């Protein structure tokens, strides 16, 4: 490891680290080829990511917990491979990152897995303002178009071009990356052994047992990722129960609000409070209209008052008059 490399690493450390304390390896972060999701970075995006990924942390499965931090990018470069092209015929380019980690007892097994090609595939996390259709140029972050990713139109493949990169968050070791070639590259620095590079030989699968073992690793990793992604999701039955409870609560709350409005309007219009529930309407405006009609009928109703009775009054006008006449006749006689 030369002094320049060591200086770049120590720019991120709190103390000067020595070569013996460090494990350094190159990482294929991303490229301009069309990935499994039908998307790709254009050349300008790679240039921006080259700048943004310096200093970014390496974790596992895009899980942002601090305990997952394992390495850090200290240098980046854009690499071209003469004669190699993308799926749609453009010159192939990729973003290479140089990563370092501390040689400790805790990460010794991780270093062994990287050296052994087990921990190899990586995926990046970043933000792109634009996802441009390769056929018509529509920015699909703002609107849709009729073209479908993966289909061909007049001999041209439809895919999204990721443009206007605004941030890079992290890079992760994953089981199945979106970009097929993203991962720890086939050469890495041994550092402590004073050797610059060592080739990682490709070992082909030649038996059914080896094939089954390789598939099992991928399936197990995919199942683990799926469980982690959906661990906080509700079952369909629990979700249905929650929706019913929510709807019941909403209905009760609505009835309470309507009842309060009817009571308020009845008080304002001079309608007896016990008649407030008789008001019709599902909005305050409708309830007020009905209250106006209600109030008119109440005001037109005849008002009765009790008639004082004379002693001995039978309750009828005629009887009361006859009684008074008899009393006057008696006085005149006397």
Q: Does the pLDDT at position 277 exceed 60? A: yes
Mean pLDDT of 225-239: 70
Between residues 290 and 178, which one has the greater pLDDT?
Answer: 290
**Tens of pLDDT along 112-167?**
999 998 988 899 999 999 999 999 999 999 999 999 999 999 999 999 999 999 99
Task: Name the pLDDT band for 326 (thresholds 50, 70, 90).
Answer: low
State the pairing for strand pair 160-173/39-41: parallel
pLDDT top residue among 273 and 217: 273
E strand segments, the chain = 22-31, 39-41, 57-60, 71-85, 91-102, 122-133, 152-153, 156-157, 160-173, 183-184, 187-188, 198-199
Q: Which two tokens stand for residue 188?
A: 């890495």
Residue keyed to tokens 């303002």 = 129
Residues 195 and 1: their CA atoms lie apart, in Å, by 8
The per-residue pLDDT for 312 is 45
For residue 225, the model assigns a pLDDT of 66
Which residues touch 182 (CB under 8 Å, ≥6 apart)?
28, 29, 30, 31, 121, 122, 123, 124
The average confidence (pLDDT) of the chain is: 81
Cβ proximity of 163 and 155 under 8 Å: no
Query: When comparing pLDDT for 228 and 114, which is higher?
Result: 114
Tell me which residue has tokens 């009845």: 266
Higher pLDDT, residue 176 or 189: 176
Q: What is the Cα–Cα distance from 269 to 259, expressed in whole angstroms?
A: 15
pLDDT at 73: 96
pLDDT digits (tens, 9 = 90+) for 26-42: 999 999 999 988 999 99
284-300 and 236-269 are packed helices; what angle lies between their axes, rounded to 10 degrees? 40
Query: How many CA atoms lie less than 13 Å away from 95 in the CB half-sphere?
Result: 29
Distance in angstroms (rounded) separating the CA atoms of residues 334 and 185:
141
In terms of Cα–Cα distance, which of 118, 139, 114 is closest to 128?
139
Question: In which band, very low, low, confident or very high, does the pLDDT at 2 lie, cut at 50, 70 and 90?
Answer: confident
Whether 41 contacts 168, CB under 8 Å: no
pLDDT (0 to 100) of residue 296 = 81
Mean of the pLDDT values across residues 274-296? 88
pLDDT of residue 187: 40
pLDDT of residue 275: 85
Task: State if pTM tops 0.75.
Answer: no
Burial class of residue 16 (count of CB atoms within 10 Å of its CB; 0-12, 13-18, 19+): exposed
The SS3 of residue 24 is strand
State the pLDDT at residue 311: 43
Going from N- to C-terminal start, the domains of the chain cover: 3-202, 203-232, 236-300
Mean pLDDT of 272-280: 87
The two tokens of residue 236 are: 């369909």
Residue percentage of the chain with pLDDT more than 90: 43
CA distance to 49, 128, 165, per residue, from 44 (Å):
9, 12, 9
- Closest alpha carbon to 119 in 75, 171, 74: 171
Contact yes or no for 184/27 (Cβ under 8 A) = yes
Mean pLDDT in residue range 184-206: 45
Q: Are 70 and 101 in contact (CB under 8 A)?
A: yes
């Amino acid at each position: 490891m030369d002094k320049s490399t060591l200086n770049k690493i120590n720019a991120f450390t709190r103390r000067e680290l020595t070569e013996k304390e460090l494990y350094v390896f190159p990482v294929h972060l991303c490229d301009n080829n069309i990935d499994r999701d039908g998307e790709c970075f254009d050349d300008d995006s790679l240039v921006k990511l080259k700048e943004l990924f310096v200093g970014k942390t390496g974790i596992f499965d895009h899980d942002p917990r601090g305990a997952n931090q394992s390495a850090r990018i200290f240098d980046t470069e854009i690499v071209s491979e003469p004669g190699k092209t993308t799926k749609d015929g453009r010159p192939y380019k990729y973003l290479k990152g140089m990563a370092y980690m501390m040689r400790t007892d805790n990460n010794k097994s991780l270093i062994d897995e990287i050296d052994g090609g087990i921990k190899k595939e990586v995926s990046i996390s970043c933000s792109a303002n634009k996802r441009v259709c390769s056929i018509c140029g529509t920015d699909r972050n703002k609107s849709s178009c009729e073209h479908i990713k993966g289909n061909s139109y007049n001999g041209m493949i439809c895919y999204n071009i990721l443009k206007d990169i605004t941030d890079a968050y992290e890079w992760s070791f994953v089981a199945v990356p979106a970009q097929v070639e993203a991962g720890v590259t086939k050469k890495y620095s041994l550092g402590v052994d004073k050797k610059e590079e060592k080739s990682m030989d490709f070992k082909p699968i030649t038996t059914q047992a080896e094939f089954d073992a390789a598939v099992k690793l991928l399936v197990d990793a995919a199942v683990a990722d799926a469980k982690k992604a959906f661990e906080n999701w509700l079952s369909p039955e629990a979700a249905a129960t929650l929706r019913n409870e929510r709807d019941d609560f909403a209905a009760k709350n609505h009835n309470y609000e309507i009842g309060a409005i009817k009571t308020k309007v009845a008080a304002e219009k001079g309608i007896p409070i016990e008649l407030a529930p008789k008001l019709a309407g599902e909005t305050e405006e409708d309830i007020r209209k009905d209250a106006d009609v209600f109030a008119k009928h109440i005001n037109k109703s005849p008002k009765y008052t009790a008639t004082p009775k004379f002693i001995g009054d039978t309750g009828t006008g005629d009887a009361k008059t006859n009684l008074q006449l008899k009393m006057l006749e008696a006085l005149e006689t006397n």
